């Protein structure tokens, strides 16, 4: 492992890294690119020709597609070789998540199997469970599902009523209850089911085979999007689950569920990239074919604005995804040495980056929603027709803001988790925040040496940090323990944290890219517009935070500090966006 600076989760609030310290997509090696191409070829050959049939909730067809992907090795990417997989790095896992993200409903079924359907057993199961189940899940012999949500327990997962009690002979747990919104329910062989043993306060986790007597699968739900994904309720009526199918320890299920959700959030952050790239390519191809008033609509400034904004938002999200993915890889390697268990080391490393996982989930899902909405608009009336791919992409995108914990829950987690990590002493947040707050009246904005392009952007990120720290200290001072109930304020702070992390990640990527490939002015255009807009959003969020605190005599001082710190150089956003769009239009596909 090369010597590089790696931040702990949330530490980006008080520390920075250099461009050399981050991984960027331009560094994918030949093997990684070949794996991605295999996934791309699979979508072209097997998924896209069958999309209309898949959309009609054809369980058998989706099952056969998943099995074929397993035969190609696509299901074993994240599974160690000793369990029949390929033991690829987390960065590679994220690249596969991205590439398959262009697969509409198939992507949902595939990711559910490879992630939440398989990895709880891989990460938390014992050696016997891994040999019995993971080896089969890694090849697609078995297909997996994950059963956490109940009719009365969504975001509050621990309030579930599904119950397990030990049989009189001590050989089985007798499982009773109901789960809903279960992806892959219609054809899954193994179910990771969460239930409370007796009157336990917290959940335990079990491996349940769908063929066990008493397991009843309901009909597929009718959904707005991802129609090809089998989503159904599952009922457990006195199901006898062998005691050796308890995952981990009794009462460890809630920890398993939370950890797997962190993993799911990060993977979703990668998955939406592929869907976004597909939508952008669909957008520009249509704009380069459609004529109005005798000219191609791709020549219109309004269309160029839309195309450029799609690119800017995607590049920022993509940069953040692979930045943290490499950090996770490094921590995984360290923990494998420390604990010796690949499964536990992997999930501990992923779980550590819970702040970034929530950021990627929220920012990624909202980025994709913006891009598919604009894709429909670029297509005009045709975009509303079911004949066009963007119509499907628009509907399918909407679930991502609900999946893996709603964006409302995740925004709160961004701030709450960072503060809790800081309270444990993982990084120095509160002392730094207090210093910034107390010096607000005379706080100077950082400035770069004239002509230092990336130095200027780095100075902006330092100023953005100061704004966030100022707001965090002010909010803690004002609301104290009641801050948890001030969700609007937490949302403001979360939005600023997301803007900082994405803008900084994009800056580091473009700086490193120039070192590898040389300067390209269009990437400066992307970065200029990103920072210009981020500064505006951060100023608004910070002002809202300060005014929500009713800070009295402090408010004018704090607001002046925010105004100073959020000031950035003016950008000719019209020309910058036109240059970005022109590259996309010339390439006639997303090739950034």
Which residues belong to the active site?
A: 404
CA distance 311 to 547: 34
Residue 429: left if φ>0, alpha if ψ -120 to 50, beta else—which one? alpha
Query: CB count, 10 Å around CB of 500?
Result: 21
Query: Taking a C-beta distance cutoff of 8 angstroms, is the pair 208, 121 a contact?
Result: no
- Burial-class residue 516 by CB neighbours within 10 Å (0-12, 13-18, 19+): exposed
- Can you read off the two tokens belonging to residue 396? 């399918």
- Can you read off the two tokens belonging to residue 136? 């089969």
Task: Tell me the CA distances in angstroms from 173 to 39, 74, 204, 241, one per residue in order.
Answer: 40, 34, 11, 5
Helix (H) or strand (E) holding 206: strand 204-209
CA distance 323 to 329: 10
SS3 242: strand
SS3 181: strand
CA distance 164 to 204: 9
Cβ neighbors of 471 (< 8 A, separation 6 or more) are 492, 493, 496, 542, 545, 546
- Can you read off the two tokens belonging to residue 365? 């899902």
Long-range Cβ pairs for the range 112-115 (8 Å, 24+):
112/144, 112/145, 112/146, 112/183, 112/184, 112/229, 113/66, 113/75, 113/137, 113/143, 113/144, 113/145, 113/184, 113/188, 114/74, 114/75, 114/77, 114/78, 115/260, 115/263, 115/264, 115/267
Q: How many helices (H) and strands (E) does the chain have?
A: 20, 10
End-to-end CA distance of the chain: 28
HSE at residue 50, side-chain half, CA atoms within 13 A, is 20
Cβ neighbors of 376 (< 8 A, separation 6 or more) are 383, 384, 390, 391, 394
Query: Taking a C-beta distance cutoff of 8 angstroms, is the pair 84, 66 a contact?
Result: no
Query: Taking a C-beta distance cutoff of 8 angstroms, is the pair 237, 176 a contact?
Result: yes
Helix (H) or strand (E) holding 192: strand 190-197
Task: Tell me the CA distances in angstroms from 438 to 258, 462, 477, 482, one per residue in order.
Answer: 37, 17, 12, 22
Strand partners, 209: 190
Question: Tokens 């923990």 correspond to what residue?
Answer: 335
């Amino acid at each position: 492992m090369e010597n590089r600076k790696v931040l702990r989760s949330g530490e980006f609030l008080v520390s920075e890294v250099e461009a050399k310290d981050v991984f960027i997509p331009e560094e994918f090696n030949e093997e990684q690119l070949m794996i991605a191409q295999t996934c791309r070829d699979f979508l072209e050959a097997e998924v896209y020709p069958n999309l209309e049939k898949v959309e009609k909730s054809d369980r058998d067809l989706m099952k056969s597609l998943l099995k074929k992907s397993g035969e190609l090795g696509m299901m074993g990417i994240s599974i160690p070789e000793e369990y029949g997989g390929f033991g690829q790095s987390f960065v590679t896992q994220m690249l596969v998540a991205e590439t398959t993200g262009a697969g509409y409903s198939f992507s949902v079924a595939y990711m559910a199997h490879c992630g939440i359907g398989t990895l709880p057993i891989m990460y938390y199961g014992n050696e016997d469970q891994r040999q019995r189940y993971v080896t089969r899940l890694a090849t697609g012999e078995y297909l997996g599902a994950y059963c956490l949500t109940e009719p009365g327990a969504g975001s509050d997962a621990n309030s579930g009523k599904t119950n397990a009690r030990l049989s009189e002979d001590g050989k089985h747990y007798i499982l009773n209850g109901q789960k809903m919104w279960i992806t892959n329910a219609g054809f899954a062989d193994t179910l990771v089911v969460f239930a409370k043993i007796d009157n336990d306060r917290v959940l335990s986790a079990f491996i349940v085979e769908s063929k066990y007597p008493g397991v009843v699968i309901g009909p597929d739900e009718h959904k707005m999007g991802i129609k090809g994904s089998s989503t159904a309720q599952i009922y457990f009526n006195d199901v006898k689950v062998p005691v050796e199918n308890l995952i981990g320890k009794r009462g460890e299920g809630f920890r398993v569920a939370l950890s797997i959700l962190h993993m799911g959030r990060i993977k979703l952050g990668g998955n939406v990239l592929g869907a976004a790239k597909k939508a952008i390519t669909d957008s520009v191809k249509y704009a380069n074919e459609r004529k109005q008033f005798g000219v191609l609509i791709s020549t219109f400034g309004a269309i160029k604005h839309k195309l450029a904004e799609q690119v800017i938002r995607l590049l920022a999200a993509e940069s953040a995804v692979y930045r943290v993915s490499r950090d996770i890889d490094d921590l995984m390697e360290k923990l494998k040495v420390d604990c010796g268990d690949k499964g536990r080391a992997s999930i501990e490393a992923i779980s550590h980056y819970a702040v970034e996982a929530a950021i990627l989930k929220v920012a990624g899902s909202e980025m994709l929603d913006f891009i598919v909405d604009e894709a429909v608009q670029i297509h005009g009336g045709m975009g509303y027709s079911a004949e066009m791919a963007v119509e499907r992409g628009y509907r399918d995108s909407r679930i991502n803001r609900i999946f893996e914990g709603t964006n409302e829950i995740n925004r709160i987690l961004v701030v709450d988790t960072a503060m809790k990590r800081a309270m444990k002493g993982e990084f120095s947040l509160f002392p730094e925040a207090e210093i910034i707050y107390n010096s607000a009246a005379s706080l100077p904005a950082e400035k770069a040496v004239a002509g230092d392009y990336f130095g200027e952007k780095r100075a902006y990120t330092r100023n953005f940090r100061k704004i966030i720290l100022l707001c965090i200290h002010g909010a803690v001072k004002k609301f104290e323990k009641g801050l948890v109930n001030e969700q609007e304020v937490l949302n403001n702070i979360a939005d600023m944290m997301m803007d900082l992390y994405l803008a900084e990640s994009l800056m580091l990527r473009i700086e490193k890219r120039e070192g590898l490939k040389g300067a390209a002015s269009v990437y400066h255009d992307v970065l200029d517009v990103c920072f210009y807009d981020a500064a505006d959003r951060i100023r608004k969020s910070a002002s809202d935070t300060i005014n929500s605190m009713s800070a009295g005599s402090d408010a004018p001082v704090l607001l002046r500090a925010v105004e100073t710190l959020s000031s950035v150089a003016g950008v000719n956003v019209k020309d910058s966006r036109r240059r970005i769009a022109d590259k996309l239009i010339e390439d006639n596909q997303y090739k950034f």
